[in-house]
Amino acid sequence: MERGALWEYQVFCAVAERQSFVLAARSLGASPSAVTRAVQSLERQVGAQLLLRSKSSVVLTPQGESYFQSARELLRLEAQARDDLQDAQGGVQGRVRFSAPDLLGVALLPAVLRQYADAHPGVSMDILYTDKWVDPIAEGLDFAIRGGFPASSDLLGAHLWPYDRLLCASPDYVRRRGLPREPEDLKAHRLVMHTGPRVLKDWHLRDDQRIVRMHAEPAVRVSSGSGLMAMVLQGMGIARLADWAAQPEIERGALVRVCPAYTVTSAQGAAPQMHAVYASRSLPARARAMLAAIRQCASGPGRQARR
């Protein structure tokens, strides 16, 4: 991170938010010793101890609690002023740091990120593709793209786009094992599932008339979305896939829908949504522009026509 006039405030807030000098240093791209020196310098300037340090934790002092709120607001106002200036000058610059699910980084994001990079040459990107839950605050991210809304009161969330969950298999699997058309037929088939903790183990399959609940007992469990997709493409079994990943493979003949009259929904029959999760109400202009581009690509006319 560029060390500007407010560097010591940035460091202090990063340490306070992560309760760790090491995690703060990692998020800022600095050494732990540099982070320690910055905090010590700030404490000398204000004439008070802001952080209590131990071998296992870092916590704010009462003076630090008060100062942290003011410092965070100062950084927010500075970032907003800088973004407003960039907007007025017609340019978006800086670095965007975000995370996204593994399969999203293969199936949807490459094309939109290339277009975004062409439109905003002054912006660089740090991207973390992972299926694990990522805390944007702890990792120093502008935002995280996830399937779930944030549970923490320290985080905010915004809807990006709705999608359908489809049950899919390869044509080879269907030739060998047959095409299930009703939820009851799935009991005789091999299911492939993601191991993620937020993945629902009970599937709710909805058609025009009913919602059927079934317990999905996987024969194969895979820890990444791209690994899951690879297994299904190779004929391993049937998997639940997001339409933004499955539809292109269906259109090129690499996958077919099973139980084609059904989509997998919540217990109440609602379709899932992708969300952006972030820590500040004042996202940088570069991050807002990227989320707008992703939202437009994911919910654009071509995709809507397939739904």
pLDDT at residue 164, rounded to an integer? 93
Please give the DSSP secondary-structure letter assigned to residue 271.
P
* 54 and 183 share one domain: no
In a domain, 2, yes or no: no
Other residues' Cβ atoms within 10 Å of the Cβ of residue 20: 18
CA distances 27 to 11, 14, 17, Å, are 10, 8, 11
Instruction: Tell me what percent of the chain is helix, strand and coil, each rounded to the nearest 5.
Output: 45, 20, 35
* 146 and 281 share one domain: yes
pLDDT at residue 134, rounded to an integer? 86
* 178 and 234 share one domain: yes
Higher pLDDT, 152 or 304: 152
Q: Can you say whether residue 282 is alpha, beta or left, with left for phi > 0 and alpha for psi between -120 and 50 degrees? A: beta
Other residues' Cβ atoms within 10 Å of the Cβ of residue 54: 7
Amino acid present at 198: R
* 157 and 171 share one domain: no
CATH of the domain at 154: 3.40.190.10
pTM assigned to the model: 0.71
pLDDT > 90: what percent of the chain?
59
pLDDT at residue 147, rounded to an integer? 85
* 155 and 172 share one domain: no
Please give the DSSP secondary-structure letter assigned to residue 34.
H
Number of domains in the chain: 3
Taking only the tens place, the pLDDT of each residue in 23-35 is 888 888 889 999 9
* 182 and 211 share one domain: yes
Q: Can you say whether residue 128 is alpha, beta or left, with left for phi > 0 and alpha for psi between -120 and 50 degrees? A: beta
CATH of the domain at 185: 3.40.190.290
**Radius of gyration of the chain measured on its C-alpha atoms:** 23
Taking only the tens place, the pLDDT of each residue in 265-285 is 988 888 889 999 987 666 788
In a domain, 276, yes or no: yes
* 49 and 76 share one domain: yes
Q: What is the domain range of residue 247?
A: 165-265
* 250 and 176 share one domain: yes
pLDDT at residue 302, rounded to an integer? 44
User: Is residue 102 over pLDDT 70?
Assistant: yes
